[in-house]
Structure 1
């Protein structure tokens, strides 16, 4: 049978591992929340970028077409 010192050491180790496990669980929850928040932020930024691109494309389409023959300096 195990000696009392050995049992105490095992009990201390188990207590330490349980504390570490709880710590890791809390960290995991926080990291999961952070990933969720960053995913939402990324999606919002992608949406804003897409809207900005659409606006720029619309503005480019509204620009008058420049022809190379109308502006000889442009070909130089």
Structure 2
């Protein structure tokens, strides 16, 4: 199945926004762990399941920030008809 030009355009648009949101999520998560906000780094590294904890932490951030960035991109498409 071949995508039409406008379909490819919107998919690229959404993927680009999602990637920017995911980059922000990785930066935010790294800063939270670096500064040990809420003692999250200490808790994760002292836990038996530290890798699982960090994986779920970053998965949640990636899904949230990626979705928000896509939503902001879509909402920014609107035009003011004044």
TM-score by length of 1: 0.45
- TM-score normalised by length of structure 2: 0.42
**Bigger RCO of structures 1 and 2 (CA < 8 A, at least 6 apart):** 2
